[in-house]
Structure 1
Amino acid sequence: MSGTEPATVLVVDDEPDVADAYAAQLESEYIVSTAYGGQEALDKIDDAVDVVLLDRRMPGISGDEVLAKIRERDLNIRVAMVTAVDPDFDIIEMPFDDYVIKPVSRDDLFETIDRLLACSEYEEKLRRYYALTAKHATLIANKPESELQESEQFQQLKSEMSAVRDELDEAISEFDDDDFAAAFRDLEYESGSPTE
């Protein structure tokens, strides 16, 4: 998702009326497509999709299986399970970003998507900050202080680090517990051990 074009949302539900109703509510703000089953969802999921609203209980390929395959593909996509299935302890191991119980209001849909997009943006900034700090540390370890002080590029690097850190601080001040869980989901599952 670029800063200028709207996010792309894929709505997956085996009940076409439900999927179409969600899509109709969302298309004023996002680029929306629908899939009426697990295989159709997998066929439509690619790098262009930012958020998937995924039903769990579907014939054929279930939402749980679709979620697992999305994560296997290592795509940077946020997934919200939007389902009538009451959560049980099995959700602890599931790598979704949010779990929303039907019935879902229009406001619920928008809040969920907006929260997931904010988490994606935070994660991108965090990665950018990490890359900048790695460059900073490498230069400090390998260049004399006098060269660092004289380098305009190094001073720009320090300014950019400071600006990104300020952006991260501002974003994190608006997060609640659900936002933290969604923002750091990738870190948890990349390490191979979900946090307790």
Structure 2
Amino acid sequence: MTGDHTVLVVDDEQAITDTYSELLDDRYTVEVANSGEQALATLSEGIDVVLLDRRMPGMSGDELLEEIRARGVDCRVVMITAVDPDTNIIGMKFDEYLVKPVSEQQLREVVERMLTRDHLDQQIQRMVNVASRLATLETKLDYEQLECSDEYDRLRSEFDSLRAEVTLPEETEDEYVHATIEKLDALLSERQ
């Protein structure tokens, strides 16, 4: 079975890519690669989440991560590795880091978190863009000018529509989502 989202599993151990694929293919379209080079050949804008091992012969997971970001591929990357994190991960641009072994539940939950973050980020980015334009107009124009501006009215309507569309979880254990919600709340309170 395939889903609306695509997950790329990258690990040099065939047993791991097979296992992760089996655990996820009931909900997602799953692509597998057993090397960094093979992953680059598979990589496309259609990939939503990459589950990436760090230690692989040839191109390492660290190098592949750098290449994914350098190419500007819009996907979430989760490092799933036997390498315990150290200060060497500080500059790495992954979205989450899990140490093997991971359970089926952990695997499914991390993919869902990545997809939730991606959707939430897109909604918030649109809202921030519109709110920023509104804030600029509100600081540069006086009340009478704003009242007479069709563009301002259009932006206000667009912002109100976006705000109504954004469904933020009331409670979340995902620290990233929690921090994002706090930023959005701060932005909204500044506008009022």
For this structure pair, what is the TM-score category when the shorter chain's length is used for normalisation?
Answer: 0.7 to 0.9
Aligned-residue offset at 1:135: 3.9
Specify the alignment match of 2:14 in structure 1.
16
Q: Which residue of 1 aligns with 2:124?
A: 126
Greater mean alpha carbon deviation, residues 65-74 or residues 144-153: 144-153
In structure 2, relative to structure 1, the CA distance for the partners of 1:141 and 1:88 (3 Å cut) is closer
Distance 1:178 1:151 in 2: 38
Aligned to 1:38: 36
Which range moved further: 134-143 or 89-98? 134-143
Q: CA deviation at 1:86?
A: 1.2
1:24-173 equivalence runs, <5 A: 24-137=22-135, 140=138, 148-149=146-147, 154-165=152-163, 170-171=168-169, 173=171
Change in 2 beyond 3 A, CA 1:89/1:138: closer
Shift of 1:24: 0.9
**TM-score of the two chains, using structure 1 as the length reference:** 0.78
Question: Displacement of 1:173 after TM fit?
Answer: 4.9
Structure 1 match to 2:184: none
CA distance in 2, matches of 1:72, 1:38: 14
Identity rate of aligned residues, in percent? 40
One-letter amino acid of the structure 2 residue matched with residue 49 of structure 1:
I
Query: Aligned in 2, Cα 1:40/1:81: closer, same or farther, shift over 3 Å?
Result: same
Aligned equivalents of 1:167, 1:108: Cα separation in 2: 29
Judged with a 3 Å threshold, the aligned counterparts in structure 2 of structure 1 residues 172 and 56 are, in CA distance, closer, same or farther, namely farther
With 20-29 and 127-136 compared, the bigger mean Cα shift is at 127-136
- Partner SS, residue 90 of structure 2: helix
Structure 1 gaps of 5+ residues are 184-196
Q: What is the aligned residue count?
A: 178
Deviation of the 1:119 alpha carbon: 1.1
Match of 1:7 in 2: 5
Q: CA deviation at 1:125?
A: 1.1
SS in 2 for 1:66: helix
Q: Which amino acid aligns with 2:44?
A: D
1:12 is displaced (CA, Å) by: 0.3
The Cα of 1:160 is off from its aligned counterpart by 3.2
- Say if 1:116 and 1:179, in contact at 8 Å, map to a contact too: no
